[in-house]
Amino acid sequence: MTTRRAVLAGGAALALLPWRARAASDALRAALDAARAERDPVTALRFLASFDAAALSPAARLDLVTARAGLAVDAAIVARGVDPRAKPSGTRDAGLLTLLLRRKLGDGVTLDAAAHRLERERVRCEVQAARLLRAIGISGATTGAGFTRLWQDDRDLYPDSDAGRDAAVADMNRWLARFSAQVPALIGPVPRYALDVATIRPSATDIAAGRIGARTLPTPGHPGGYRVDLTHVHDRPRWTLPSVVAHELVPGHMIQLPIEAIADPHPLRLDYAPCFTEGWSIAIEQRIAQDGGYAHDPLSALGQLHWRLFRIGRALADLAIHRDGQSIDEARARLVAWQGEPVPFAPFDADLARIAQDPMTRTAEMLAALAIEDGAQRRSGAALRRYHQAILKDGRMRREEIDRRARH
């Protein structure tokens, strides 16, 4: 029998829970600060050993489990005599490369499984792109050759003038309005100010300061925007821009990052889940296409596939250069065969040079996207919205946490 005293005692205990959770979170944050400042990951792990994840708020729990997982990987890297915060670009050590990938992405992944999954997705995208290219009367020896022919069609190129740049910005903002209208059905409730964003043509001051291709996140009372790089607008076909809107604005970075700001993740979590943000935007681009966003617009569908092949291609190049010892020239030839044309901010040679100096980052970004997409499979309607809310509300996370939230 439940007595009045028991009910009152239970109510008092429940009233204390938020205070206890806050106190535990404050203590954890101090320990995470110390762990981040500590150069020895084994010592840093000891700072976090006494905390009970179940006693923490969801965001604090995510700080803890992410830090523990990342520091454990760092301890394994240090045991190999390598500084985990460095970029050992010359290594061909498969074990070390696997650890570097797990540091950025999550536990359990192997290089062979990563290469197999990425190659499978590349082939799927190439088949889809080839079918769409044939449907509009374009063929070629490779998918890249087909994209190059499409790039040369002047009908979809903006004039290299102020009028051309204004037209590109106006087109992007029309797509932004369309994608913003889809957010309630696709993601569910988001902060209202996250939708107070726009594509912005950079001013002369922005250009002089290098603020092109840059985002300003929205906050309450302050709109956000994406200053699109239109320096070479004639090289940006009209059909490549809708996916830029989805990725850089809504429902990509301008949804994920403002929600994450509310959760206020600890910097150590950001260190060990760095690829979630890019993964979210790649995955949500794909979801829009998958849900028929370009069903009656084959050119925009091809634009999305070109962006996707770019991101898959650089991930495969990352693996091939570091794991297999592939030369830059060989990697470039493969990218040309898959993409045909580079994206504006990543010319083939410059991008491959960056990849050669930063092992496993591009691989981790694309695998993060695939992990998010895997969790969304066979979900639609309310189930899809619940999943998206679950992986957004507390800020970025590692792959194992994406999997856990997808299961629950």
DSSP per-residue letters across 329-382? HHHHHHHHHHHSS-BTTB-HHHHHHHHHHSTTHHHHHHHHHHHHHHHHTT--HH
Residues 78, 115, single domain; the answer is: no
Element holding 216 (H helix, E strand): strand 214-216
257-285 in b/e burial notation, b at 16+ Cβ within 10 A?
bbbbeebebbebbbbbbbbbbbbbbbbbb
Residues 399, 251, single domain; the answer is: yes
Measured N-to-C along each axis, helices 381-392 and 361-376 cross at an angle, to the nearest 10 degrees, of: 140
Whole-angstrom distance, CA of residue 281 vs CA of residue 248: 7
Whether 398 maps to a domain, the answer reads yes
Whether 212 maps to a domain, the answer reads yes
Say how many domains are in the chain.
Answer: 2
The whole-number pLDDT of residue 25 equals 85
Residues 80, 135, single domain; the answer is: no
Whole-angstrom distance, CA of residue 335 vs CA of residue 329: 10
How many beta carbons lie within 10 A of that of residue 83, not counting itself? 11
The whole-number pLDDT of residue 19 equals 63
Average pLDDT, the chain: 94
The last residue of one of the domains, among 32, 51, 86, is 86
Give the range of the structural domain holding residue 69, as residue numbers without chain letter: 17-86
How many beta carbons lie within 10 A of that of residue 333, not counting itself? 14
Residues 234, 333, single domain; the answer is: yes
Whether 383 maps to a domain, the answer reads yes
**Cβ atoms of 171 and 158 closer than 8 Å:** no
Residues 280, 356, single domain; the answer is: yes
Rounded to two decimals, what is the model's pTM? 0.94
The whole-number pLDDT of residue 23 equals 79
The C-alpha angle 142, 148, 154, rounded to 5 degrees, equals 150
pLDDT digits 0-9 by tens, 166-198: 999 999 999 999 999 999 999 999 999 999 999
Residues 232, 360, single domain; the answer is: yes
Residues 182, 221, single domain; the answer is: yes
Whether 59 maps to a domain, the answer reads yes
pLDDT digits 0-9 by tens, 124-176: 999 999 999 999 999 889 999 999 999 999 999 999 999 999 999 999 999 99
Residues 57, 168, single domain; the answer is: no
Residues 224, 187, single domain; the answer is: yes
Side-by-side strand order, sheet with 224-227: 197-200, 224-227, 214-216
Which amino acid makes up residue 376? A
Six token digits for residue 53: 């994840």
Q: How does DSSP classify residue 346?
A: B
The whole-number pLDDT of residue 17 equals 45
Q: Which of 382, 351, 283, 309 is nearest to 133 (CA)?
A: 309
Residues 43, 145, single domain; the answer is: no
Whether 364 maps to a domain, the answer reads yes
Give me the residues of the chain with pLDDT under 70, please: 1-21
Which amino acid makes up residue 58? P
The single residue listed with the structure tokens 């022919």 is 149
Whether 376 maps to a domain, the answer reads yes
The whole-number pLDDT of residue 90 equals 87
The last residue of one of the domains, among 71, 86, 101, is 86
The whole-number pLDDT of residue 375 equals 98
Whether 104 maps to a domain, the answer reads no
The whole-number pLDDT of residue 120 equals 98
Residues 122, 180, single domain; the answer is: yes
Residues 76, 220, single domain; the answer is: no
The whole-number pLDDT of residue 141 equals 92
The whole-number pLDDT of residue 177 equals 98
Q: Indicate the SS3 state at residue 139.
A: coil
Whether 151 maps to a domain, the answer reads yes
How many beta carbons lie within 10 A of that of residue 195, not counting itself? 22
